[in-house]
A and B are shown apart, each in its own frame.
Chain A
Amino acid sequence: MSKTFDRRDFLKLGGAAAALAATGCATTGGAKARVVVIGGGFGGATAAKYIRMWGPNIEVVLVERNADFVSCPISNLVYGGSKTMADITYGYSGLKRYGVQMVRDTAFEVNTTAKTVRLVKGGDLKYDRLIVSPGIDFMFEEIKGYAEAMIDKRVLHAWKAGPETVALQKQLAEMRDGGVYVLAMPVAPYRCPPGPYERICQVASYFKKHKPRSKAILLDANPDVVSKGPLFKKAWAELYKGIIEYRPNTKVIGVDGKAGVIKAEVEDVKADVLNVVPPARSGDIAVKAGLITHNNAWCAVNWRTMESLAVKGVHVLGDATLSAPLMPKSGSLANQHAKVCAAAIVALINGREPNPNPKIANMCYSFVSDDEVIHVTSVHQLDDKNVFVPIKGAGGVSSARNTLEGKYAWAWAQNIWADMLG
């Protein structure tokens, strides 16, 4: 099964495989240096594009299993009904204009000594530097009964946008008026801190319009709303009174899909639509590549270059990283990680010192209704230990929910999607 791609494979597979026949400059001195990127999300796709923009002498191969990118940010609006799956889906063809070579496959394993990535469909990709931007995978085993219940979609996480988003929207549409939707969240850190509170708003918004006797219950393992708390609570009280019920300190430990019961430590909750988000960790390939450093879950990095603290020559981006202080796992920050990484890799491959003073920003919008939005923003600079820390006095949240930021939030989405893929 395994082999290194040769000329025949190149001819067989066409343009995308052009990258696969070459070897890297740092190892042979005979060809372009090659960066392989695993994962075409906010981190990986941005890094691939920016390395080609800033380092045209570098070959970039992006390994992505999906035909199209489906955005997690904005996906909650599919439940509220103001956006569709088509609105949050974006193709990868734009990256070809930058000379990024797309390989539609899944990375099976990484050999960090030989510097190769083995692909599921067969073949090894050689790299000089590797970027791992795998997002998250779930620890389903942490919740009893989850694996069984997910087989027939009696329980959904919908915390990765795509088929689960479609399935959850369908279940909400098919639910009777007077039904109960339950969203259950694990303890932080999880992907997208304000995500659960936005989702409960969007589901409640749908109920308010179409199924006003229904309930939307949020079981939160955290002691309080993790992000934008006062703004979300105000929206719940003023827009969705009698629909949304918030239960903090409620950790879910089991699911009975057949009975439609979610088992928390302190109580059982009966539900028509079961939306349970299990605890997560860095994506599987980060585990296999030996990049996990903390809590069996996250990958520590040198934030100046995004290089792994566990494996040299491998950089980790996005949600998979061990978060820096007060740095959320957000699409915006994955995009920013990618640019720090791209600048560092271009400098290193060209024999220059990486930027000693990178500075990045987070911009995170949440829709509390079809058109009203609240934001949180922050700016982060490197400290003397190569860790990003938030700049005191910069950043903040919206003064109140407003429709002007509803327009800016959609502008953010269009611009960040174009920034990574356009």
Chain B
Amino acid sequence: MRITLVCAIALAVAPVAANAQDAGRNLAASCAMCHGTSGHSVGGNEPLAGMPKDEMVRKFKEFRSGAKPATAMHQISKGYSDSEVEQIAAYFAAQKK
């Protein structure tokens, strides 16, 4: 019954703007192919789940500047703005290790 109600409400309301808190989740979903679903790496690459936000932002920016050596992250990180990096880092920081 509860499900029916949720459905009915969903249908009754007009589309609203994309949920802001989904933005970080959506951006971070790209990372999963190398770092695991929600950052839970199954091996070989650094787990991102539960990494403190400041640490990830710093690493990302070091990849971008070339200060931190990388095989590919120096190239990928250049595709993301500072505000996107903040959103991605906030998402992973909120995931359980």
Contact = CB atoms under 8 A, between A and B. Distances in A.
Interface of A: 25-26, 29-33, 49-50, 53-54, 57, 332, 335-336, 339-340, 343, 347-361, 363, 375, 377-379, 381, 391, 393-396, 398, 402, 404-405, 407-408, 410-412, 414-416, 418-419, 422
A412 B16 contact: no
Contacts of B17: 352-353
User: What is the interface residue range for chain B against chain A?
Assistant: 35 or more
Contacts of B80: 359, 379
Given A351-B10, A352-B18, 11 more contacts: A339-B26, A340-B26, A349-B10, A350-B10, A354-B18, A359-B27, A359-B79, A378-B79, A394-B75, A414-B44, A415-B36
A359 B3 CA distance: 32
A41 to B, nearest CB: 14
- Considering the complex of A and B, which 8 residue pairs feature the smallest CB-CB distances, nearest first? A411-B44, A379-B79, A394-B79, A25-B7, A396-B75, A394-B78, A339-B29, A416-B33
B41 to A, nearest CB: 6
A64 B14 CA distance: 35
B54 interface: no
B91 to A, nearest CB: 13
B34 A411 contact: yes
Contacts of A396: 72, 75
A359 B30 contact: yes
B67 interface: no
Contacts of A419: 32-33, 36-37
Nearest to B23: A355
B43 to A, nearest CB: 6
Interface string B15-59: 111110011011101101111110001111100000000000000
23 contacts: A25-B11, A29-B4, A29-B11, A53-B37, A336-B30, A336-B33, A339-B26, A350-B10, A353-B16, A359-B79, A359-B80, A361-B79, A377-B72, A379-B76, A379-B78, A394-B76, A395-B75, A411-B44, A414-B44, A415-B33, A415-B43, A416-B32, A419-B32
A375 B34 CA distance: 13
A336 B27 CA distance: 10
Nearest to B29: A339
Given A29-B7, A379-B76, A407-B44, A402 B18 contact: no
B83 to A, nearest CB: 11
B6 A57 contact: yes
A353 B30 contact: no
A352 B15 CA distance: 4
A30 B34 contact: no
Given A32-B3, A352-B15, A408 B26 contact: no
Contacts of B71: 375, 398, 402, 404-405, 408
A287 B32 CA distance: 31
Nearest to A29: B8
A417 to B, nearest CB: 8
Interface string B61-97: 0000000000110011111100010000000000000
Nearest to A50: B29
Contacts of A50: 29
A408 B35 CA distance: 10
B78 A339 contact: no
Given A25-B11, A353-B16, A419-B32, A411 B27 contact: no
Nearest to B4: A30
A415 B44 contact: yes
B35 A415 contact: yes
A353 B26 CA distance: 14
A395 B74 CA distance: 8
Given A29-B8, A350-B10, A408-B71, A416 B3 contact: no
B78 A351 contact: no
Given A355-B23, A402-B71, A414 B11 contact: no
B1 to A, nearest CB: 11
Given A332-B33, A351-B11, A408 B45 contact: yes
B10 A411 contact: no
Most buried by B among A336, A414, A422: A414
Given A332-B33, A353-B15, A359-B84, A414 B43 contact: yes
